[in-house]
């Protein structure tokens, strides 16, 4: 007896099947047979689509928050610290006259 592997469906595929189920042009069983999935899965995807559709429009548009690691003050302070470390290393190694 061979082992059966689990099918993994992509997000766009699930959305396509769920939209077709919501349109109700065909029955859930017809849609399931056409796309090769179980009718229960089609019903679950059909229920999940309206629940998660609101999340698409919740994200606010506008400028993205500034990355604090790229602030000029932080970068200048890090450059100064690295210069001091380099000077200290040169002094300890005897390269600086």
33-79: per-residue pLDDT in tens? 999 999 999 999 999 988 888 877 776 666 666 666 667 888 889 99
Q: Quick one: 30 exposed, middle or buried, by C-beta within 10 A (0-12, 13-18, 19+)?
A: middle
Residue 47 to residue 49: CA distance in whole angstroms:
6
d(C-alpha 66, C-alpha 84), whole Å? 28
Domain coordinates of the chain in residue numbers? 9-54, 68-97
What is the distance between the alpha carbons of residues 80 and 92, in angstroms, rounded to a whole number? Answer: 18
Q: Where are the alpha helices (DSSP H) in 24-71?
A: 28-35, 39-58
Question: What's the predicted TM-score (pTM) here?
Answer: 0.55
């Amino acid at each position: 007896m061979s082992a059966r592997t689990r099918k993994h469906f992509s997000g766009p595929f699930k959305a396509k099947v769920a939209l077709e189920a919501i349109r109700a042009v065909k029955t859930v069983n017809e849609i399931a047979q056409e796309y090769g999935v179980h009718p229960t899965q089609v019903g679950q995807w059909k229920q999940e689509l309206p629940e998660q559709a609101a999340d698409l429009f919740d994200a606010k548009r506008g400028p993205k928050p500034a990355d604090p690691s790229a602030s000029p003050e932080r970068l200048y302070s890090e450059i100064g610290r690295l210069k001091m470390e380099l000077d200290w290393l040169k002094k300890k190694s005897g390269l600086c006259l």
